[in-house]
Amino acid sequence: MRSTRLDLAVSGLVAFVVLGPLLVGPGYWLFGDMVFVPRQPWKDAWLGLDGSLPRAVPMDAIVSVLTHLVPGSWVQKTFLVTAFVLGGLGAARLVRPYAGLAAARAAATVLYLWNPWVHERLLLGQWAILAGYLALPWVALAARRLRRDLRAGWAPAAVALAVSAVCSPSSGVMAVVVLVVLGVRWRDPRSWAVVVALGVVANLTWLLPSLTADAAAVTTDGVFDLFAARAESAAGVLASLLSLGGTWKTSILAPERTSAVVVLLSCLLAAAALAGLRRALRRGSDPSEVRRLLALAGVALVVAALPTSLTGGAGAALLEQVGDRVPAAALLRDSQRFLAPAALALAVGLAAAVTWVREQVAPGREAWWAVVGLAVVAPVVLLPSLAWGGGELARSSYPRDWAAVADLVGDPTGPGDAATVVLPWQGSYRRFAFNDGRAVLDPAPRLLPGEVLVDDRTLVDGREVPSEDPRVTAVTGALAAGSPTEVSSALRDLGVRWVLVEPGADRAAAALPAGGTAYDGDTLLLLDLAAPATGSKDPAQVRTDGPSSHDDHAGLVIVGHGCVFVLLLCGLMRILHSGVTTITSSRRWPLKSLGGD
């Protein structure tokens, strides 16, 4: 119990140091993809029922429900802090069999919570993917339990997989890979059957919306090369990846990561962790798990490195060929994110390494304690930019204009199913003065009720990744229809009633669709194109050449969500019923008792 309190204290401290600016006052963190709004209206899209590609399904649904109970800023704070603290606690529990002292667990916890991967995902605003990463130690713990006892181990595995899949599709996939590599008894068909069944059911929440999406076309053309991991410094891409860095988005890099010295010192830390794993392999009580962890790290590294310059472009070309035949391969773009499972191996290895260092302390060699201390603080010293949100992430609050516009668009007396187009029609990221000019995903789709259309074409290094929603392409055409009246008419034909003009768009009448001014505030202008013209196409039908079929699939998608919910519920009840508060405790189930392959 005392050790758990200590682990909680370390995790809580790290969470506070990283998230501090968000926690010390009211307001939101709004940057990159991190968008929370005061109250997120419910939409079918949050569950993937509208036929669009599920990007944040069902996380958006959860956030929407929660923001109806408490303000969105509380939801944001709670999600991030809980994920960080539980992630650190999970890492500490995972390494317990390898850690001979509290400092070893602390070193592993700090490394897991404080590394370039975490920094880069946080600054990308990918909080749900970050939450999935922080769930991985619990997946690994469940895998350990499952390998020991298939019958008793399915429940924690089910819960861990379901939570991961809820976070994001890529998190769900990573969790399944971790469970397979660490939890399957290779020669036991029952073990395979259980893991595969759990993996499939847990991921139905996004799998079914993906398979039944009739409104979108996945683009894989050139995306693997565009989003490939990159070298952060002169040390090269491999050094970046070995130290858990290498994001494609160079604009969010921590300044110190551009130094080859820092990256190479980070590699030294990784090398120490690998040495620790080697020692655990030779002297540990469960060499099988260590081998599996090494294999997991290897797989993660290969996937992350595949589309990079390390393969001379062959990896990206291979992925594109696969993507042409299997659109789901698009999930592998931004491959660096799949480096996450490697952090599990590094955390375990560092704990083992610190334990070895502790064993070297003897009269006349007390200075080894300094090495122990160095291992604990090294991740922080090597990445000071993660402290206090990078020093640049101040909180923001939405101006009143946003609430006023949301009220108008959501007026229940108005016509239903009217869509909103957001201008400027140039990408989906904005710089608002109220947000200190930080780039953030347009909050309109989450703040406004009804369908909100934003230009989601992606431009990276001057190359355009086209929108995956044909409706966006249709709006692009409508906006180029000619005169304001013609544009207005073309938009109405697409089922658009409202045009939200945000800062950055040309407010001259000649540059806007013809329509009445519904709201004219300091920062936002809302145009009412009046009700869609008689005979205008149903918004859903514009998406596809033929009649939309997503209504037919909605039932199937709901069944999928229901399956995941039931799985989660059954897993939790099983855990509570059997009193498995120690599902991950190595005290009751020591590692040496774990079954082998």
Site pattern 429..448 for another protein (x: CB under 8 A): xxx-------x---------
Is 261 a residue that touches another protein (CB under 8 A)?
Answer: yes
Is 265 a residue that touches another protein (CB under 8 A)?
Answer: yes
Number of H helices, E strands in the chain: 23, 9
Sign (positive or negative) of CA dihedral 373, 378, 384, 386 = negative
Q: Among 334, 451, 468, 502, which residue interacts with another protein (rule: CB under 8 A)?
A: 334
Q: Residue 104 Cβ, how far from another protein at the closest point, in Å?
A: 17
Is 282 a residue that touches another protein (CB under 8 A)?
Answer: no
Of 119-127, 300-308, 443-451, 483-491: span binding another protein (CB under 8 A): 119-127
For strand 525-528 and strand 496-501, is the pairing parallel, antiparallel, or unpaired? antiparallel
Q: Residue 345 in contact with residue 294, Cβ under 8 Å?
A: yes
Of 120-128, 177-185, 190-198, 586-594: span binding another protein (CB under 8 A): 120-128
User: Residue 526 is inside which H or E element, if any?
Assistant: strand 525-528
Q: Residue 337 Cβ, how far from another protein at the closest point, in Å?
A: 8
CA atoms in the 13 A half-sphere facing the CB of 306: 22
247 Cβ contact partners less than 8 Å away, ≥ 6 residues apart: 116, 120, 124, 229, 230, 232, 253, 336
Is 234 a residue that touches another protein (CB under 8 A)?
Answer: no
Is 192 a residue that touches another protein (CB under 8 A)?
Answer: no
Of 136-144, 450-458, 505-513, 573-581: span binding another protein (CB under 8 A): 450-458
Q: Among 60, 232, 256, 289, which residue interacts with another protein (rule: CB under 8 A)?
A: 256
Which residues, 14 to 33, sit near another protein by CB under 8 A? 32-33
Q: Tell me the residue type at 150.
A: L
Is 115 a residue that touches another protein (CB under 8 A)?
Answer: no
Q: Residue 400 in contact with residue 134, Cβ under 8 Å?
A: no
Q: What is the DSSP letter of 220?
A: -
For residue 523 the two structure tokens come to 């920062």
Is 262 a residue that touches another protein (CB under 8 A)?
Answer: yes
Is 254 a residue that touches another protein (CB under 8 A)?
Answer: yes
Distances (CA, A) of 370 to 160, 262, 303, 354: 37, 20, 36, 11
For residue 467 the two structure tokens come to 């929108």
Of 5-13, 80-88, 381-389, 541-549: span binding another protein (CB under 8 A): 381-389
For residue 408 the two structure tokens come to 């108008």
Of 36-44, 366-374, 518-526, 535-543: span binding another protein (CB under 8 A): 366-374
Of 72-80, 187-195, 377-385, 548-556: span binding another protein (CB under 8 A): 377-385
Q: Residue 391 in contact with residue 385, Cβ under 8 Å?
A: yes
DSSP SS3 for 252: helix
Is 365 a residue that touches another protein (CB under 8 A)?
Answer: yes
Q: Among 366, 508, 509, 510, which residue interacts with another protein (rule: CB under 8 A)?
A: 366
Is 222 a residue that touches another protein (CB under 8 A)?
Answer: no
Q: Among 252, 275, 403, 591, which residue interacts with another protein (rule: CB under 8 A)?
A: 252
Is 96 a residue that touches another protein (CB under 8 A)?
Answer: no
Which residues, 24 to 83, sit near another protein by CB under 8 A? 32-33, 55
Is 394 a residue that touches another protein (CB under 8 A)?
Answer: no
Is 476 a residue that touches another protein (CB under 8 A)?
Answer: no
Neighbours of 27 (CB within 10 A): 16
Q: Residue 505 Cβ, how far from another protein at the closest point, in Å?
A: 12
For residue 143 the two structure tokens come to 């895998």
Q: Residue 440 Cβ, how far from another protein at the closest point, in Å?
A: 9
Of 459-467, 482-490, 518-526, 534-542: span binding another protein (CB under 8 A): 459-467
Is 258 a residue that touches another protein (CB under 8 A)?
Answer: yes
Q: Among 129, 182, 339, 475, which residue interacts with another protein (rule: CB under 8 A)?
A: 129
Rounded CA separation 382/385 (Å): 9
Neighbours of 386 (CB within 10 A): 24
Site pattern 486..505 for another protein (x: CB under 8 A): ------------------x-
Is 370 a residue that touches another protein (CB under 8 A)?
Answer: yes
Rounded CA separation 291/281 (Å): 7
Q: Which is nearer to another protein, 42 or 368 (CB)?
A: 368
First to last CA, the chain: 32
Q: Where are the strands (E) in 345-503, listed by range? A: 419-423, 429-431, 439-441, 452-453, 458-460, 463-465, 496-501
Q: Residue 578 Cβ, how far from another protein at the closest point, in Å?
A: 38
| Tokens 């600054």 -> residue | 123
Q: Among 5, 151, 282, 367, which residue interacts with another protein (rule: CB under 8 A)?
A: 367
User: Residue 324 is inside which H or E element, if any?
Assistant: helix 314-325
Rounded CA separation 584/94 (Å): 8
Q: Among 23, 322, 374, 403, which residue interacts with another protein (rule: CB under 8 A)?
A: 374
Q: What is the DSSP letter of 533?
A: P
| Tokens 């201390």 -> residue | 373
For strand 452-453 and strand 419-423, is the pairing parallel, antiparallel, or unpaired? parallel
Is 124 a residue that touches another protein (CB under 8 A)?
Answer: yes
Neighbours of 436 (CB within 10 A): 14
What is the contact surface with another protein in residues (CB under 8 A)? 32-33, 55, 123-126, 129, 170, 249-256, 258-259, 261-262, 265, 268, 333-334, 364-368, 370-371, 374, 378, 381-385, 390, 392, 426-431, 439, 455, 457-461, 465, 504
